[in-house]
């Protein structure tokens, strides 16, 4: 492919001016100063509430690794996911924006394998969330200043990530693989052993805790099935604790542990029935331990933290100016904001079952707004029926053997509003709506909820496929990102795309990792160049352009 300046039309000339003169903000173009850009590691386990860790009280198992890690960390006691399930919450984490504001609120958008048990509503069509103009996944900003970014290995962001987001995203992704041992890294390790599915997938493995010794939450009957299922779950947590120790040991062996910023957290509350997918604290509250050289070991804070705060916090720690597309508040680093007053959460479609519920908490009082009051709290999600405890609860419900607090999950309707004092009522059984002593608090929390929706918007109010069709311009398939525009002049290559907000990647060999394009770069006549453009939510450009850079024709 020959690139000639004599055949550049006016649009391309305009793009050329844009890419040669504007590019990225200065904060993202600066030469990296390795000592000022700390290594950051996230250790994430799935489907676990804080109390299973000894550092948060314990439920019968032993978690010596994380208990020790807590003595070296800042422990957060009021950290929350934005949903009681993974994919919408992970969308909020990776973008720093509420899933309801960007259309990533339904569980799950990319569909499942053909042999999966999960069903979808009639007419559902798999899709990637089309992010708003200018919004990118935060690891791309880290790559722009020289970080090596890895994800091992789950994404589940409600969209297909562009190739520019990660240096590596696979089961083998690891900070050890970076080509330069002095290059700063951001690495995520996802531990799936505590996921709800492992309760039945590991049913035949030995237990590490005696069912007689576990704590049975009051949402379950205290019987042998509940105790055995809880023991299975707690055993998985204990094995997860060992896996955390292996990751920590790798950092220690490399001499990196002391100066690496380490986040440990869960991707939402427990994976057990009447926990996962719910907007009660048991579905939303997470353990969060952060170890960093500048944090006091063994300290504790009750500061409110939401998943939308994670992305801006990482950018703050890495020395990157937080982009205006992010809605979260950084809680560490030089751009740290004032503590937030509320955290927010949402529940929408879960597999085949449609609902719309919103919640706001000030750390003590929880307000829940049910928009579909004729829907029962319990949803017949087939995937969850693999859990023997779920089957047991349904049998006891049919037999009328549950307590009123346990039976409430199966009520045929829901109240329009719920209000709980989670300090005195941690299981959120006693709805305070209608109690005149709490009228002022109810009004405050209701206003906070409505203000949140009015400020950020809530696409959950729109039918899902209608929202998708609007993204797709009324068509039945997602748009395709336009082919990249490639310009070469005076020894510099400039890249662009006619699709707004597209990320552009390039590399000089098929074996190279895709680099994030920011500004014109040097090339020589005869160089090979691979170029790809991808706007999140669109299909990527049909194929990478492979060309030989040639001198401009006169």
Question: Which positions are annotated as active-site residues?
Answer: 86
Beta-carbon contacts of residue 536 (< 8 Å; ≥ 6 apart)? 128, 129, 130, 131, 135, 136, 137, 159, 160, 161, 162, 501, 503
- Cβ atoms of 535 and 498 within 8 Å: the answer is no
Do β-strands 168-169 and 148-152 pair in parallel, antiparallel, or remain unpaired?
A: parallel
Give the separation between CA 363 and CA 348, rounded to whole angstroms: 22
> Nearest 5°: CA angle at 101, between 99 and 103?
65
- Cβ atoms of 97 and 281 within 8 Å: the answer is no
SS (H, E, C) 2-63: CCCHHHCCHHHHHHHHHHHHCCCCHHHCCCCCHHHCCCEEEEEECCCCHHHCHHHCCCCCCC
In terms of Cα–Cα distance, which of 220, 334, 328, 337 is closest to 274?
220
Cis bond before residue 153 (omega within 30° of 0): yes
SS (H, E, C) 187-207: EEEEECCCCCHHHHHCCCCCC
Please name the residue ranges forming H helices in 320-438: 388-399, 404-407
Give the separation between CA 428 and CA 280, rounded to whole angstroms: 7
- The whole-angstrom distance between residue 141's C-alpha and the CA centroid of its chain comes to 16
- Cβ atoms of 149 and 187 within 8 Å: the answer is yes
Give the separation between CA 458 and CA 107, rounded to whole angstroms: 15
In terms of Cα–Cα distance, which of 359, 170, 348, 191 is closest to 266?
191
């Amino acid at each position: 492919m020959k690139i000639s300046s004599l055949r550049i039309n006016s649009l391309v000339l305009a793009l050329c001016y844009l890419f040669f003169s504007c590019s990225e903000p200065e904060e993202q173009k600066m030469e990296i100063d390795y000592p000022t850009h700390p290594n950051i590691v996230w250790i994430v386990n799935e489907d676990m509430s804080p109390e299973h860790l000894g550092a948060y009280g314990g439920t019968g198992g032993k978690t010596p690794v994380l208990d020790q890690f807590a003595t070296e960390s800042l422990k957060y006691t009021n950290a929350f996911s934005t949903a009681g399930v993974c994919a919408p919450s992970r969308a909020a984490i990776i973008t720093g924006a509420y899933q309801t504001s960007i259309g990533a609120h339904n569980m799950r958008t990319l569909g499942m394998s053909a042999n999966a048990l999960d069903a979808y509503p009639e007419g559902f069509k798999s899709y990637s969330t089309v992010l708003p103009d200018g919004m990118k996944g935060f690891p791309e900003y880290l790559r722009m200043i020289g970080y090596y970014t890895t994800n091992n290995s789950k994404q589940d962001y409600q969209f297909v990530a562009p190739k520019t987001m990660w240096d590596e995203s696979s089961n083998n992704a690891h900070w050890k693989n970076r080509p330069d041992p002095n290059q700063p890294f951001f690495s995520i390790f996802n531990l799936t052993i505590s996921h709800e599915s492992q309760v039945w997938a590991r049913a035949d493995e030995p237990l590490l805790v005696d069912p007689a010794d576990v704590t049975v939450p009051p949402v379950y009957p205290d019987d042998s099935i509940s105790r055995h299922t809880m023991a299975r779950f707690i055993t998985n947590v204990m094995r997860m604790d060992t896996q955390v120790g292996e990751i920590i040991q790798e950092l220690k062996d490399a001499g990196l542990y002391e100066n690496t910023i380490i986040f440990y957290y869960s991707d939402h509350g427990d994976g057990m029935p009447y926990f996962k997918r719910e907007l009660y604290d048991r579905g939303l509250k997470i353990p969060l331990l952060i170890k960093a050289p500048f944090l006091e070991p063994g300290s504790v804070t009750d500061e409110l933290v939401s998943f939308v705060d994670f992305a801006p916090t990482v950018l703050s720690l890495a020395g990157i100016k937080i982009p205006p597309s992010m809605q979260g508040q950084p809680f560490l680093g030089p751009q740290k904001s004032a503590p937030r007053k509320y955290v927010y959460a949402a529940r929408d479609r879960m597999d085949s079952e449609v609902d719309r519920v919103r919640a706001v908490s000030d750390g003590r009082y929880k307000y829940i707004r049910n928009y579909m009051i004729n829907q029962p709290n319990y949803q017949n999600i087939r995937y969850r029926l693999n859990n023997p405890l779920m089957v047991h609860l349904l049998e006891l419900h049919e037999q009328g053997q549950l307590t009123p607090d346990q039976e409430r999950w199966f009520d045929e309707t829901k109240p329009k509003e719920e209000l709980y004092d989670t300090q005195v009522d941690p299981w959120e059984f006693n709805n305070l709506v209608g109690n005149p002593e709490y009228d002022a608090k109810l009004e405050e929390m209701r206003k906070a909820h409505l203000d949140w929706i009015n400020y950020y918007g809530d696409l959950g109010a729109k039918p899902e496929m209608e929202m998708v069709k609007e993204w797709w311009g009324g068509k039945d398939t997602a748009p395709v990102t336009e082919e990249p525009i490639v310009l070469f002049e005076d020894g510099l290559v400039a890249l662009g795309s006619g699709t707004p907000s597209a990320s552009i990647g390039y590399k000089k060999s098929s074996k190279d990792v895709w680099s994030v394009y920011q500004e014109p770069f040097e090339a020589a006549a005869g160089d090979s160049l691979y170029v790809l453009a991808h706007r999140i939510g669109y299909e990527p450009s049909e194929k990478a352009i492979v060309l030989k850079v040639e001198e401009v024709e006169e």
